[in-house]
Each structure stands twice: as C-alpha cells, then as structure tokens.
Amino acid sequence: MLAVPTVVGQSKSLYQCKDGSFSDTPCPGGKIIEVPPTNTAKSEQPREPLMEEKQAKPEPKPTPSGPPIPIKCRDLTLAQKSEIKTQLRFQNIVPCMTEQQAKSIIRNKQHSEYIYPAGGNNVFKEWIFTPPTPRFPHRIYIENGYVVETK
C-alpha cells in the first residue's frame, strides 16, 4: 500500500520515482503527477434532490407498537437492572428478566408451556416444571416477553 503525503500550502505536484515510490520533491528519473486540489466542496446549502430521487424515496412505514411492557418492569432503576444481570450470571430466574434470558437459563429442561391470549397484542405464558427442582421455580409466569412472577 502506498501512502501519498500531502502538506497544506505546498505545490500540487507529486512525483513518482523509478522505484515506484512517491515524493513531493523531484527525484531522478521520476515523472510528475498532477494532484487536483482537495476539499473543494462548497459548504453552502445542499443541492436540490433530483426528480428520480424524490420519486424513488420510499414512504416511511408505521412501526408496529407491539405488546406493552408489564407495569412492574417499566422504568427499572440502575440497581434493579444490575440485579437482573447478576442473577442472570448466577443462572437464577427473577422478575423483569426477558423471556429470552429465562430460556437461556432453562435451556432444554423439561417443562410445559401454556399460552393464554390476554386481548390485543398481550400474551400471558405459564411455564410449569415437572418435577420441581430446587434450582428452578416450579412455575414461571411471563407477560408480553417478560418474567413477571416465579413460584
């Protein structure tokens, strides 16, 4: 890779030497390469978009609102978020953990999953572990993708 040195205020000529290197001073057997001025863009208002650009611009799509976050998991403090991360590290399932985080902890442990539609986009899930083990709660309740209760 060749590096082309540029110094502000010097000539706009660059020399390519016989060995293939570049220099800002003449070298024996080298040839002159004219370097166009850099940073010549005007800093005025941007140009008007072309007609094709105006027509080709897609309209923004409305984003789906999705199911709401359970009330007890909204606006968590930094200490609460830190506690969830700590419990995740120790492989414990606690309220306000996401469903995906809980799945990463239980992995493929035997359980039954019951899904209850709760109107609109709301979904309520219940995971029941049989037989119960000391490491996992017997039941985990999930509302809209967040653990809301464990028993």
pLDDT by residue (tens digit) across 15-72?
888 888 888 888 888 888 877 766 666 666 777 777 666 665 566 555 556 678 888 8
pLDDT (mean) for 87-114:
89
pTM above 0.75, yes or no: no
Burial 76-97 (b: 16+ CB within 10 A, else e): eeeeeeeebeebbeeeebbbbb
Confidence of residue 9 (pLDDT cuts 50, 70, 90): very low
62 against 91, higher pLDDT: 91
CA distance 37 to 145: 57
- Does residue 7 surpass a pLDDT of 50? no
- Does residue 1 surpass a pLDDT of 50? no
Q: Give Cα separations from 99 to 15, 81, 93, 95, 123 (angstroms).
A: 64, 15, 10, 10, 12
pLDDT (mean) for 126-150:
85
| Average predicted confidence (pLDDT) for the chain | 79
- In the chain, the percentage of residues whose pLDDT exceeds 70 is 74
First to last CA, the chain: 64
Confidence of residue 85 (pLDDT cuts 50, 70, 90): very high
